[in-house]
Structure 1
């Protein structure tokens, strides 16, 4: 393999999202920067999550996930609840405003511009992560507001990537 300059990878653009699911009545979710629309007929999205995360395990079993698109003004305390704590230890949805999609996945309304629910149609196993491709079943727009990008998360909010994030290596660039 040739030389890898991590700064080159940091030039890719990302949004910031909460990817969630429901498994047998238990809700869980996590911060993610890897979500993208991949087709329009049918509308499909993809997300890639670390295998060690509870959300990944739950999506693999439930076959569903939801995505909340975060707004720029979201406070770090809200990001921290979903990004730096484990659903194995806390109820991440305690005191969070959300509704349920018809399929039961949580659609987070608080600090979100939009949310959608997807049914997993394909899973690709990577060495450390699982790539979930899902067909969108439901979506809702909550408001118009500037979106939180991964770059803003680092530059404005001074956030770091946890060890399980695909972008953990970028922490060394700061």
Structure 2
């Protein structure tokens, strides 16, 4: 199969850009994600799923804490992609100076974004290179009018040096994923 044959369809599966925040052992972190989906049709029991790569600090924190928040970006928040997605939380506090409050799960909720969903993990599926976390939505709020920021739109507006940095980071992650995506535990796991 040639990926170019399915690339237009695969690209449409990405969600709006979300800053995934987490809190563990007195520390906050954030990463960018686009692999998010609604996971319940029951209005009074909302659920979501999110995929986080195992090499990211956020993965370790969500796995340990059993919680995360999805903070969807507004169309005017391109700068946060660089701040949250192109550096590691292992190197610096990516939420330093960002307006936030603690959600019911303990995860940071950004007070300046399109909207947020505060989530408690109820199950996790090993994907080899990533984990797909299924979570109950504890609370949420839409904070802005209009539309959230989508990756397909953001890519057209980002500075060339950010795109080059993203491409380099993505190439490294793809190489790692090729080595690890077959290492899947066949047992379902539930966070304790």
TM-score by length of 1: 0.85
Which structure's relative contact order is higher, taking Cα pairs within 8 Å and 6+ residues apart? 1
Unaligned runs of 5+ in 2: 175-192
Give the distance between the partners of 2:108 and 2:41, measured in 1 at CA. 23
Unaligned runs of 5+ in 1: 167-174
Equivalent residue number for residue 140 of structure 1: 141
Q: Is the 8 A contact 2:51 2:130 kept in 1?
A: yes
Equivalent residue number for residue 45 of structure 1: 48
Equivalent residue number for residue 2 of structure 2: 3
Give the distance between the partners of 1:15 and 1:30, measured in 2 at CA. 14
Aligned length: 163
Runs of 4+ deviating beyond 3 Å = 158-162
Q: Residue 94 of structure 1: which of 90, 93, 96 is its match? A: 96
TM-score by length of 2: 0.78
Equivalent residue number for residue 128 of structure 2: 127
Give the distance between the partners of 1:94 and 1:63, measured in 2 at CA. 23
What's the C-alpha RMSD, in Å, of the aligned pairs? 1.8
> Which has a greater percent of helix?
2
Q: Residue 108 of structure 2: which of 106, 112, 133 is its match? A: 106
> Which has a greater percent of strand?
1
Q: Is the 8 A contact 2:14 2:35 kept in 1?
A: no
Q: Give 1:20 deviation, angstroms.
A: 1.1
Q: Give 1:83 deviation, angstroms.
A: 0.2
The 1:29–1:165 alpha-carbon spacing in structure 2 relative to 1, beyond 3 Å, is farther
> What CA deviation, in whole Å up to 9, does each residue of 1:113-171 have, x standing for no partner?
111111101100112111001000111222213311111011222544532767xxxxx
